[in-house]
């Protein structure tokens, strides 16, 4: 489905108007040790030219509205999703470049991806762990952000204070170790208006 979303050029657009390229050295990575067996990395500005990639993904990805079961009822997800079980079918060559760079750095063969579109500040995702945590005790899950800056929250599954990160266009968030089993993450709604934001999630094998 087409997603007509108005955008306005900003200073950030002008500063990020080059050809897309990744930082293969991961020079601006900040690691947070969540606990003894879980960690998170925030790689600032990992993808240059991210605004151009955002526009291309918005134009080419087959976004759809999905629903899921929550407790005893089925609810519509407050975001749109597009999925590519084989990364070779992704609409942009740069997405295959990104997958290859992540594979080389983290030693995980990322063969698939799915894309979530947060159309504005009303779209969100609630507290959850990715499904890979149900089948793997440890995992390394990279999420590339494009577009508007949004808050990314992560907290212990058993309860406790959350950690909040401001994730900007081109930033990479990587959750590793037992983070998908022992921690929960979310992108909350916000009162401050925001434009579209895309998260691109990479996985080994089929996405989900």
With contact defined as beta carbons under 8 Å apart, do 132 and 102 qualify?
no
CA distance 189 to 151: 9
Lowest pLDDT segment from 5-9, 99-103, 160-164, 166-170:
5-9
Give the predicted TM-score (pTM) of the model: 0.88
Partners of 183 in the β-ladder: 156
What length is written for the chain?
A: 208
C-alpha torsion sign, points 140, 112, 21, 124: negative
Give the mean pLDDT of the chain. 90
How much is the pLDDT for 14?
43
How much is the pLDDT for 131?
87
Of 129, 92, 87, which Cα lies nearest the Cα of 110?
A: 87
Given its phi and psi angles, is residue 160 left (phi above 0), alpha (psi -120 to 50 degrees) or beta?
left
């Amino acid at each position: 489905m087409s997603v007509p979303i108005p955008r306005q050029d900003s200073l950030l657009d002008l500063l990020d108007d080059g050809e897309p390229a990744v930082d293969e050295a991961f020079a601006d990575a900040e690691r947070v040790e969540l606990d003894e067996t879980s960690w998170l990395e925030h790689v600032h500005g990992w993808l240059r030219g991210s605004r151009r990639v955002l526009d291309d993904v918005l134009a080419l990805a087959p976004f759809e509205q999905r629903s899921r079961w929550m407790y005893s009822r089925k609810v519509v997800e407050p975001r749109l999703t597009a999925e590519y079980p084989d990364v070779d079918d992704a609409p942009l060559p740069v997405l295959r470049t990104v997958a290859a760079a992540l594979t080389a750095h983290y030693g995980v063969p990322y063969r698939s991806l799915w894309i979530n579109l947060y159309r504005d500040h009303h779209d969100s995702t609630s507290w959850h762990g990715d499904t890979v945590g149900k089948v793997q005790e440890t995992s390394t899950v990279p999420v590339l952000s494009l577009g508007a800056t949004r808050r990314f929250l992560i907290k212990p599954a058993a309860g406790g204070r959350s950690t909040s990160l401001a994730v900007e266009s081109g930033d990479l968030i990587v959750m590793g170790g037992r983070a998908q089993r022992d921690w929960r993450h979310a992108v909350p709604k916000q009162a401050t208006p925001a434009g579209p934001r895309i998260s691109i999630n990479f996985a080994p094998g089929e996405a989900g």
